[in-house]
Amino acid sequence: MYAIEFETKIENGCVTIPTQYREIYQSQAKVVILIEDVAKKVAQEKNYSAFFNELRHRHISVSEKININQLMNEMNDGFC
């Protein structure tokens, strides 16, 4: 077994393998997906506005009217 590495977007549950790896298109593979954990990183820094800015950057709609601190405190109360 050998490994290849590339970055891609997961769209509708599908991962597109770059054409440079077309020799493996019909192969059986073990897949490991590494995703940057933005929520954990931001929570550690207690920088909640950065979390929502990152969501906006990823094209996830977040209303400007959200009280970020209140929302994060409510979320933390549920998880702690």
pTM of the model: 0.41
What's residue 3's pLDDT?
Answer: 87
C-alpha 70/C-alpha 11 separation (Å) is: 31
pLDDT in tens, 51-68: 777 777 776 665 667 777
44 pLDDT more than 50: yes
pLDDT in tens, 9-25: 888 888 888 889 888 88
C-alpha 40/C-alpha 46 separation (Å) is: 10
Residues 42 and 57: beta-carbon distance below 8 Å: no
C-alpha 65/C-alpha 45 separation (Å) is: 22
Per-domain residue ranges of the chain: 10-79
